Homo-oligomer: A and B are copies of this chain.
Amino acid sequence: MFEVRERDALARIGLLETGHGRVTTPALLPVVNPNRPIISPTDLARRFHAEILITNAYILGKGPHRDSVLRQGVHEFLGFSGAVMTDSGAFQSHVYGDVDVTNAEVIDFQKRIGTDLGTMLDVFSEPSHDRTRATHDVDETVRRAREADSLRGEMALVGAVQGGLHTDLRERCAREVSALGVSVCAIGGVVPLLESYRFQDLVRVIIASKKGLDPSKPVHLFGAGHPLVFPLAALLGCDLFDSASYAKYARDGRMLFADGTRRAAELLESGCPCPVCTDRSMKEIAGSETLLAEHNLHICFGAIREVRRAIAHGDLWELVERRARAHPTLLVALRELRQHNEFLEAFEPVARRGALYYVGPETAHRPILHRFRQRVMERYQPPPAKGLLVLPENRRPFTEAYASALSRVMATADVHAVVKSIWGPVPVELDHVWPMAQSVVPDSLDVESLEAAEVFFREWAAGAGYPFGLLWEGESSLDELRARAPGHRVVDWNASRVRATADYQFGRGAADAILRGNISYVVSKNTGKVRNVLVDGDHVVSLRAEDGLFTLKAAGARRLHRAFRAPSLRIVVEADAIPFIREGKNVFAKFVREADPELRPGDESLVVSPDDELCAVAQSSMNRQEMLAFKRGVAAHVREGVPPSPSALPR
């Protein structure tokens, strides 16, 4: 079983339960060659804190230790009390052309040696395979996955995804294999891509596979053992990595680093803070395969921990964009991601703790910013005005004095104002929404970002489609703005921000629904910003200072529930769970029957009964696809239970 604890992009920190303990993911599985263990499994556990390792069932079954491992079981044989995954021989078929073992034999052997995760014998689909051959690879892999599922007994099974570079085949294979009784889904056939730095193809293969995969199952990326790829692969939803690289590169005198590989003999110093490099001279290290392997393991485990740190902190995108500079081919892979924003966006949380940092011209294409631009187009309604005032990037976020001068100009000249930011046009009423007010952007920008800002603006202006009587551009100083508006009328910022935010966050029409009636605000004494919004005396929403979005209250939820039809904003739960949810208990994924496909992790949502009665207001922690797939974990954190309406009570 797999449970998610933290998430960022498609990455997650999860707990994978095995027959030998829980494994925190993303996890690195060091490959142990049973015939030539360079670091003993005992040391892997004791000195490197490995919770899981991987060894090869095919090699064990064919090798001199077959009888011992059958007699002792794989854990005792290796001297490792943590989780053990075994591979099947598919990679050996890639290397040697064929293997002399059947799927059924290898499953049987893995059961007998007591592996925690046993792998089916899939067909290694080379990147060069044409559609016909790749179709055959997939058909045969799916057939064997079914066979393995039927034979596995109590063994947790690893199913493989093949299909070469054919994205539709990858997606089909992923869908069919992950629908079976497999505990882990492994993306296979990628080693040739990794070996030749074909990271753009790797991205396409992972994304195609993820589209088909059951999101509740952990994903293993077979053969990915170089720290260079961990951040990107984790970002795309890979949870497990196996590394033979630490040993292979050591044998070849090479050292792994987060930004590449270097030959030990060519270095006077490694520039690495790991225990090996801190305590030993470069000469000693270069002369010892064991020390090289230890260094490589420290770097690989460190890189996996760094990925987990970034997921927990919510800055995995920054890590990926920074690391992409380690090699031009990684940068090309990063630039590929924008092609898949429709898919990636569905998994992106609505906000995170810290700031969003500009890393390069790729930053503007992150899913969170793609979503902002999309929602501004689809959900935001500009107030009626005679013209548009276009403000430059550097006015964001607004100071109080600037906002005040701006509001006078807007009211007096009857204009509507938008910042032409490098993230896209930002209506001034939405300048406080994450990450618009929480971005760290350089003072001077690259040409690509500036050009993108123009393109984003034009797309929006064309899409907005309302007639601009006048269009001023480039006002920036307070004095200029003051000179424009000698009058004294001012825009009501509170009202316009609250309206714009409601539509932006919940969908067009939400402002009308929530704010119909007599509106009043509770305003922060320190910042002058709206905290709570009351309508006809009911507290409908609170505005969060940290991300500029609303926390929905029961009264607001009732209004949205009346105004928006199912499935909008809803999470439909099983009838059994409703009494608990009304009491304020969280919504567990296994009780979710349906949900709005537009809901995103972090979104405010309406928890309803199968006949659409409002039971609670909650903050979702999954999207629809995840809520329906997961059997474990919280789908939404209930903020407030809503009691049954009198008409619905049993009489």
A272→B306 contact, CB < 8 A: yes
Chain B residues with Cβ below 8 Å from A313 are: 262, 266-267
As a 0/1 sequence over residues 226 to 263 of chain A, the CB contacts with chain B under 8 angstroms (1 = contact) are 00000000000000000000000000000000010010
15 sampled A-B residue pairs with Cβ under 8 A: A259-B322, A266-B313, A271-B307, A272-B306, A273-B298, A273-B299, A275-B275, A275-B278, A275-B279, A322-B325, A328-B358, A332-B442, A360-B360, A360-B446, A446-B448
> How far is it, in angstroms, between the C-alpha of A267 and the C-alpha of B200 when the chains are bound?
32
Number of interface residues, chain A, beta carbon within 8 A: 54
Chain B residues with Cβ below 8 Å from A360 are: 325, 360, 446
As a 0/1 sequence over residues 317 to 333 of chain A, the CB contacts with chain B under 8 angstroms (1 = contact) are 00001100111110110
A411 CB-CB contact with B under 8 Å: no
A631 CB-CB contact with B under 8 Å: no
B332→A268 contact, CB < 8 A: no
B332→A322 contact, CB < 8 A: no
A354 nearest CB neighbor, chain B only = B266
A309→B447 contact, CB < 8 A: no
B278→A310 contact, CB < 8 A: no
User: Which of B278, B298, B309 is close to A269, meaning CB atoms less than 8 Å apart?
Assistant: B309
> How far is it, in angstroms, between the C-alpha of A272 and the C-alpha of B267 when the chains are bound?
21
Chain B residues with Cβ below 8 Å from A305 are: 269-272, 277
Chain B residues with Cβ below 8 Å from A299 are: 273
Which among A262, A301, A442 has the highest number of chain B CB atoms within 10 Å? Answer: A442
B328→A440 contact, CB < 8 A: yes
B298→A444 contact, CB < 8 A: no
> How far is it, in angstroms, between the C-alpha of A307 and the C-alpha of B269 when the chains are bound?
10
Known contacts A298-B278, A308-B268; A328/B273 CB under 8 A: no
Known contacts A273-B298, A447-B361; A321/B325 CB under 8 A: yes
Known contacts A259-B322, A269-B305, A274-B278; A443/B332 CB under 8 A: yes
Chain B residues with Cβ below 8 Å from A279 are: 275
A325→B359 contact, CB < 8 A: yes
As a 0/1 sequence over residues 467 to 511 of chain A, the CB contacts with chain B under 8 angstroms (1 = contact) are 000000000000000000000000000000000000000000000
Chain B residues with Cβ below 8 Å from A446 are: 360-361, 446-448
> How far is it, in angstroms, between the C-alpha of A277 and the C-alpha of B361 when the chains are bound?
33
A577 CB-CB contact with B under 8 Å: no
Known contacts A447-B448, A448-B446; A357/B327 CB under 8 A: yes
A566 CB-CB contact with B under 8 Å: no
Chain B residues with Cβ below 8 Å from A104 are: none
Which of A287-308 touch B at CB < 8 Å? 298-299, 301-303, 305-308
Main SS class of interface, A: helix
As a 0/1 sequence over residues 446 to 477 of chain A, the CB contacts with chain B under 8 angstroms (1 = contact) are 11100100000000000000000000000000
Chain B residues with Cβ below 8 Å from A273 are: 272-275, 298-299, 301-302
A312 CB-CB contact with B under 8 Å: yes
B272→A302 contact, CB < 8 A: yes
A441 CB-CB contact with B under 8 Å: yes
Chain B: minimal CB distance from A392 (Å): 17
As a 0/1 sequence over residues 352 to 376 of chain A, the CB contacts with chain B under 8 angstroms (1 = contact) are 0000011111000000000000000
A309→B443 contact, CB < 8 A: no
A271→B302 contact, CB < 8 A: yes
> How far is it, in angstroms, between the C-alpha of A440 and the C-alpha of B331 when the chains are bound?
12
A312 nearest CB neighbor, chain B only = B268
Residues of A at the B interface (CB closer than 8 Å) are: 48, 200, 259, 262, 266-275, 277-279, 298-299, 301-303, 305-310, 312-313, 321-322, 325-329, 331-332, 335, 357-361, 440-444, 446-448, 451
> How far is it, in angstroms, between the C-alpha of A267 and the C-alpha of B309 when the chains are bound?
7
B309→A270 contact, CB < 8 A: yes
Chain B: minimal CB distance from A39 (Å): 14
Chain B residues with Cβ below 8 Å from A310 are: 271
Chain B residues with Cβ below 8 Å from A331 are: 358, 442
Chain B: minimal CB distance from A359 (Å): 5
Chain B residues with Cβ below 8 Å from A268 are: 308-309, 312
A309 nearest CB neighbor, chain B only = B271
Chain B residues with Cβ below 8 Å from A312 are: 267-269
Which among A48, A259, A274 has the highest number of chain B CB atoms within 10 Å? Answer: A274
> How far is it, in angstroms, between the C-alpha of A275 and the C-alpha of B310 when the chains are bound?
20
Chain B: minimal CB distance from A438 (Å): 13
Chain B residues with Cβ below 8 Å from A359 are: 325
Chain B: minimal CB distance from A252 (Å): 18
Which among A271, A303, A359 has the highest number of chain B CB atoms within 10 Å? Answer: A271
Known contacts A274-B278, A275-B275; A442/B325 CB under 8 A: no
A324 nearest CB neighbor, chain B only = B325
A326 nearest CB neighbor, chain B only = B322
A442→B275 contact, CB < 8 A: no
Which among A266, A325, A451 has the highest number of chain B CB atoms within 10 Å? Answer: A325
A295 nearest CB neighbor, chain B only = B273
> How far is it, in angstroms, between the C-alpha of A520 and the C-alpha of B142 when the chains are bound?
66
Chain B residues with Cβ below 8 Å from A272 are: 273, 302, 305-306
Chain B: minimal CB distance from A630 (Å): 22
The 9 closest A-B pairs by CB, nearest first: A271-B306, A273-B302, A447-B448, A328-B442, A271-B309, A273-B274, A275-B275, A273-B298, A271-B305
Chain B residues with Cβ below 8 Å from A303 are: 271
> How far is it, in angstroms, between the C-alpha of A279 and the C-alpha of B48 when the chains are bound?
8
A200 nearest CB neighbor, chain B only = B443
A332→B269 contact, CB < 8 A: no
Which among A262, A278, A299, A335 has the highest number of chain B CB atoms within 10 Å? Answer: A278
Chain B residues with Cβ below 8 Å from A298 are: 273, 278
> How far is it, in angstroms, between the C-alpha of A277 and the C-alpha of B310 when the chains are bound?
16
Known contacts A271-B305, A298-B273, A308-B268; A335/B444 CB under 8 A: yes
> How far is it, in angstroms, between the C-alpha of A269 and the C-alpha of B109 when the chains are bound?
37
A328 nearest CB neighbor, chain B only = B442
> How far is it, in angstroms, between the C-alpha of A313 and the C-alpha of B332 when the chains are bound?
25
A271→B308 contact, CB < 8 A: yes
